[in-house]
Structure 1
């Protein structure tokens, strides 16, 4: 699957849906889109990784950098990984302890735990 990022607004949440692989070659495009969304003043961001087949350390770095920026502005960032093969990696790297992970976009935007 070819890499792509789409952005949609869902109420107070901006949802980035990512497809393909996030690696050294595609991470700069992912970072650019994420920073563009954050740059518009979005304080609540969901990143849907359900369509991502692979993510390397560069991609994980983009997620962490985005989380720092959003949280420093008083916002929230969440991951969606419905049926994703990335769950083991996210758990192994303990990213699930830093970012809230949900099974669907609707669950991520409806949850009021934060």
Structure 2
């Protein structure tokens, strides 16, 4: 159950490429990596590329819900890109697909 996180900052944007599985064991690592930037800077947009995430459970959803709330409260936007059909379905079933900015295509993310 490995998770790798690659982060690149560009002006008011943080690009994050996540690879592996997001579950109860790896979600704390993801949260520790993402939340400090979201909590300390106003008007920062965060783009998370999930194209290499093979699995995510409700713990991972919780990380993104918390991140979404924090980023929005500070005037930024959270954009999730590169979701597989399975991940997209997970967000849609929970109703988060209607609330969050989700795009199946990766646009200018981390190389």
TM-score range, shorter chain: 0.7 to 0.9
TM-score, length of structure 1 as denominator length: 0.83
CA displacement at 1:40 relative to structure 2: 4.5
Contact kept in structure 1, 2:79 and 2:102, CA below 8 Å? yes
Over aligned residues, Cα RMSD in angstroms?
2.0
1:16 matched residue in structure 2: 16
TM-score, length of structure 2 as denominator length: 0.85
Q: Which runs of 5+ in 1 are unaligned?
A: 109-114
2 CA distance for matches of 1:11 and 1:96?
27
CA distances 1:40-68 after superposition (whole Å, capped 9, x unpaired): 51611011111101111111000000010
SS of equivalent residue, structure 2 residue 24: coil
Question: Moved runs in structure 1, 4+ residues, more than 4 A?
Answer: none
Q: Which runs of 5+ in 2 are unaligned?
A: none
1:65 matched residue in structure 2: 66
Structure with the larger RCO, 1 or 2 (CA within 8 Å, 6+ apart): 2
Contact kept in structure 2, 1:52 and 1:84, CA below 8 Å? no
